[in-house]
Amino acid sequence: MVKEKTRKTKKEKTPKPKYNMAQNSAYMIKLAWTSGEKKVIVLSLLSALLAVALNLINLYVSPTILSVVERKASVTELIVTIVIFVAALMLVSAASSYVNTNTLYGRISTRCEIITLLNKKAATTSYPNVYDEKFKKLKIKSQEAINSNRSATEAIWTTLTDLTTNIIGFIFYVVLMSSIQPLLLIAILVTTVISYFVSNYLNEWGYRHREEESEYATQIFYLDRRSSDLTVAKDIRIFGLRPWIDELYTKGLATYTAFHSRAQGVYIWARIVDLVLTFLRNAIAYAYLIGLVIGNGLSVSEFLLFFSAVGGFTAWVSGILGGFNTLHTQSLDISSVRECLEYPEPFKFEDGEPIEAEADRLYEIKLENVSFRYPGADKNTLTNINLTLHPGEKLAVVGLNGAGKTTLIKLVCGFLDPTEGRILLDGKDIRDFNRRDYYKMFSAVFQEFSLLAGSIATNVAQDSEGIDVERVIDCVEKAGLRKKIESLQDGYETYLNREVFEEAILLSGGETQRLMLARALYKNAPFIVLDEPTAALDPIAESEMYQKYNEMTSGKSSIYISHRLASTRFCDRIIMIADGGIGEEGTHEELIKAGGRYAELFEVQSKYYKEGEGENEEN
């Protein structure tokens, strides 16, 4: 299975990066400039100049001193010459060390700026992108480009500095060696260029197979996260999942390791080609210099200067092309980052029409011929839905598991756009609104929710500053959780989430759901949406909670989803989702009287609860 998948992946063509080296280098320079880290650019250039100066001093120190000795100059001149070079070396080395140390902080800050941008993109991107496979793979690649000092978004500054150093040094050495046979310089350039292109093609292998690598990495990271997730700790122990997880992780790691073994094999050939061409290049250069010594009678100091210069020239050329090679590899990662940041948004945000969520105003939501199909699905989840949520109405949505109830809620809340049809808010298509403004219209409690690593008050208010404590207490009381919270030592300042705070508490499932209800109340939006938030409560507690919520949300439009039909009897209208559409519609009494599928399910559930009550009485 894995082998077949690997072969299939290898045949797939990976698209070329959207941006080239020059564009990505310019992007990083612009980012440093606009983010207030202009010193990174200046210090990097200064570092390059100091590196060249240090190299030139080292190049000339021995030939110059030897020349003084050859001329049989005075001891004083010799000492002065040595002192000058030593002082120059010390001064330039100290300045270079100081500049390089201070450049580091700006480079880290620039990388952190990219981390902030990526986090913002992940937190604010259109909801469909969250499940987009291409976007998820780009996020993984982007994470690799920002997770350490050696990552591309920081290491590129070292590469650009070294590249600038090599280019400036190359120019100086070309001028110095202008008296040497041009054919020698051409031979050095040709062999180095060939080495560059061969190495570049082989080193690009990793990028051409980046999606394959990302797929293996995703599997490993997923297993790693789930195995350390506190929410699945009980399942792992009760069902003995550890051996199975270990087996999956071992197989995934073996596949990932095999991929990198293949990659290393390709990279080794790149190094071998480079080594052979380097040997050939140096052999030609040294043979020519020896010929000059024998035939033209170069002095000892000149021989030493040119001998060092040839090696230095080769190093500059190799450094330039090697720098471009490294820059190319880093550019691929930075291109992934930019593609992730610029990933298309199917929703309108700042370019959409602004809308103000007025808590006391009554709105109407209307679905016209709405159909929806998930990407890659064979059929629609919902088909031709026509539904109006009237101002101030309490609507219940019921149906079997998988009928499409949650999908309907996601459409109403604007998390998804219809495949066909449209959704209107007071007669306007919601696709024309700023989607973030539209989200403010809803207070919601979903089946899956998150607890922030913070205090109870922070989780209710969804903010860390300007919290209305009296309002928090009122909402918690309405949700039926005040007694529990006030019994805690730190009350509303009690921390949640033990992954961050050791002293944090763990709320039960029912208590957590009540906390989420309090959070929804605190937001005080025009629409209330409850997507089976009371699943952890028993039927009686759920019914009581819904009745209480009915009282708390008086005057607001509400949508309730529940698999327990009796819990929604207080609603103004009930719709039953079946076969991708609205199968039945009416009040609880009307649907019971109609004797359809709703009545059948209600009878089954009622009988179950009655039997349960009888057994409890006997016990």
Residue range 230-282, pLDDT digits in tens: 777 878 888 787 888 888 888 888 888 888 777 777 777 777 777 777 777 77
DSSP string, 179-243: GS-HHHHHHHHHHHHHHHHHHHHHHTHHHHTHHHHHHHHHHHHHHHHHHT-GGGHHHHHHTT-HH
Answer whether residue 602 shows pLDDT above 60. yes
Sheet holding 557-561, edge to edge: 442-445, 527-531, 557-561, 394-399, 573-578, 581-586
**Pair 182, 377: CB distance under 8 Å:** no
Tell me the average pLDDT across 444-468.
86
According to the model, what pLDDT value does residue 612 have? 47
Helix H, strand E, coil C: the string for 258-271 is: HHHHHHHHHHHHHH
Q: Give buried/exposed letters for 527-554 (b at 16+ CB in 10 A, else e).
A: bbbbbbbbeebebeebbebbeebbeebe
Residue-wise pLDDT tens digits, 268-277: 777 777 777 7
Q: Which residue has the tokens 């010459």?
A: 81
Spatial distance between the Cα atoms of 146 and 113, rounded to a whole number of angstroms = 10
Residue % of the chain over a pLDDT of 70: 87
Tell me the average pLDDT across 556-583.
85
Residue 578, H or E segment: strand 573-578
Beta-bridge mates of residue 371: 420
According to the model, what pLDDT value does residue 456 have? 92
Sheet holding 382-389, edge to edge: 382-389, 365-372, 420-425, 428-429
According to the model, what pLDDT value does residue 3 have? 44
Spatial distance between the Cα atoms of 597 and 579, rounded to a whole number of angstroms = 12
Residue 101, H or E segment: helix 75-124
**CB neighbour list of residue 38: distance below 8 Å, 6 or more residues apart:** 32
User: Running DSSP on this structure, what letter comes out for residue 100?
Assistant: H
**Pair 148, 107: CB distance under 8 Å:** no
Angle, to 10 degrees, between the axis of helix 210-227 and the axis of helix 2-11?
A: 140
DSSP string, 396-432: EEEESTTSSHHHHHHHHHTSS--SEEEEEETTEEGGG
Residue 118, H or E segment: helix 75-124
Spatial distance between the Cα atoms of 416 and 612, rounded to a whole number of angstroms = 40
Spatial distance between the Cα atoms of 556 and 578, rounded to a whole number of angstroms = 27
Alpha carbon dihedral 471, 472, 474, 478, in 10-degree steps, equals 140
Angle, to 10 degrees, between the axis of helix 509-523 and the axis of helix 539-552?
A: 10
Choice among 69-83, 335-349, 377-391, 552-566 with the minimum mean pLDDT: 552-566
Structure token digits, residue 54? 């240090």
Q: What is the mean pLDDT of the chain?
A: 84
* Of 208, 213, 31, residue with least CA distance to 140: 213
User: Running DSSP on this structure, what letter comes out for residue 565?
Assistant: G
Structure token digits, residue 126? 């259109």
Q: Residue 572's CB: how many other CB atoms inside 10 A?
A: 12
Tell me the average pLDDT across 28-43.
92
- Give the 3-state secondary structure of residue 41: helix
Q: How far is CA 46 from CA 31, 110, 188, 370, 557, in A?
A: 19, 18, 28, 62, 64
According to the model, what pLDDT value does residue 222 have? 82
Per the document, the length of the chain is: 619
User: Running DSSP on this structure, what letter comes out for residue 125?
Assistant: S
Residue-wise pLDDT tens digits, 284-333: 767 776 777 677 766 667 767 776 777 777 778 778 878 888 898 899 99
Structure token digits, residue 601? 């399910």
According to the model, what pLDDT value does residue 96 have? 92
**Pair 363, 527: CB distance under 8 Å:** yes
Q: How far is CA 348 from CA 285, 433, 504, in A?
A: 62, 7, 39
Supply the pTM of this predicted model: 0.73
Spatial distance between the Cα atoms of 211 and 138, rounded to a whole number of angstroms = 9
Spatial distance between the Cα atoms of 321 and 162, rounded to a whole number of angstroms = 11
Spatial distance between the Cα atoms of 207 and 197, rounded to a whole number of angstroms = 16
**Pair 520, 528: CB distance under 8 Å:** yes
Amino acid at 39: K
According to the model, what pLDDT value does residue 8 have? 42
pLDDT band at 613 (very low <50, low <70, confident <90, very high): very low
Residue % of the chain over a pLDDT of 90: 39
CA angle in degrees (0–180, nearest 5) for 241-243-248: 95
